[in-house]
Structure 1
Amino acid sequence: MAKSIKKGDDVVIIAGEHKGARGKILQVIPAKDRVLVEGVNMRKRHEKRTQDSEGGIVEREAALHISNVMLQEKWEARSKN
């Protein structure tokens, strides 16, 4: 796993369906080498009603593999050359 990527970092998606998208890291899942990026790879989930929420269809971020993500500073430095 890339140790340089952590929660709160600004990143760019460098491969896959969402290539070029930017966002903040919401969560890092080191055991699976995956990250959740804010506003990227949105999926619809059917949630059951609980005491706190009404339930229904909710859009949430799905995990991306960490190799498809690069820190925004590194991406911008790379594109300047």
Structure 2
Amino acid sequence: MKFKRGDKVVVIAGNNKGANGEILLVDRENGRVIVDGVNLRWKHRKSTDPQNPKGERVQEACSVHASNVMLLDPSTGKGTRKRPSSEG
């Protein structure tokens, strides 16, 4: 897989097509990545008596398949297949 944590990517397929973000986590075994602010889902948390007497809903970023994201070229702002030469 050509992605690593911290890379800027653009989503090219799915519900969040066209969204940009930074990779937070790479799951090489399953071929998936977690992108900041993309593929958000609601997680319902149960109440814990002393710290949190009420339950809550929080949004979490879920993984997307690595084939649905493309590296972002900083000079053009579009997706690219190759790693930009400025990053090394």
TM-score, length of structure 2 as denominator length: 0.73
Structure 1, unmatched stretches of 5+, are none
Q: Runs of at least 4 residues of structure 1 off by over 6 A?
A: none
Is the 8 Å Cα contact of residues 37 and 61 (structure 2) preserved in structure 1? yes
TM-score, with structure 1 as normaliser:
0.79
Larger radius of gyration: 2
Q: Alignment RMSD, CA only?
A: 2.4
Structure 2 unaligned blocks of 5 or more: 82-88
Flag the 1:48–1:24 CA change in 2: closer, same or farther, 3 A: same
Percent identity over paired residues: 46
Q: Which one scores higher on RCO, CA 8 angstroms, separation ≥ 6? A: 1
2:75 equivalent to 1:71 = no
Inter-partner Cα distance in structure 2 for 1:50 and 1:9:
36
Partner in structure 1 of residue 27 of structure 2: 29
The answer to which structure has the higher helix fraction is 1
Distance 1:46 1:70, change over 3 A: same
